[in-house]
Amino acid sequence: MTPSVVVDTNVFVAAGFRPASASGRLIEAVRRGAVCLLWSEATRRETESLLRKIPPLSWESVADLFLEPNRRSSTAEADAFSMVADPEDRKFAALAASCGATLISLDHHLLGAQLSESCTVRTPSEFLD
């Protein structure tokens, strides 16, 4: 069974700058179909917006990873994740929790938060190991 993940925007940024890093290897695993990227309109929109703001990076280089069959509507309310200090990160936690997917992030706010039992947060290297 292909593992499902929700990928925080910072992982896409790290992969763009360092393709050989764990973040880059994770994005490549998504591209190969070894890992299933689950996404919502809100998480895709944030990823696109940030990548378009960083000139050396390209939204177009990852847009094809956001496959329509993997689009989800979060059934968990982002506000229920108030233990996550950054409100912008809550949508990623809510989506992962509602889908039972692993949340992949480099953000200490997410990595250090006590989230629901249905939401595991890992760094790209932890996930790949």
More confident residue, 7 or 99: 7
Question: Is 83 within 8 Å of 114 (Cβ atoms)?
Answer: yes
* Contacts for 28 with CB less than 8 Å, ≥ 6 apart: 19
- Whether the per-residue pLDDT at 76 is higher than 70: the answer is no
- Contact between 33 and 3 under an 8 Å Cβ cutoff? The reply is no
Cα–Cα dist 37/52, whole Å: 20
What mean pLDDT do residues 23-46 have?
97
Q: Does 114 score more than 70 pLDDT?
A: no
Query: How many helices, marked H, and strands, marked E, lie in the chain?
Result: 6, 4
The reported pLDDT for the residue numbered 87 is 79
Calculate the CA 12 to chain-centre distance: 8
Q: Over 90: is that where the pLDDT of 103 sits?
A: yes
**Residue 115 above 80 pLDDT?**
no
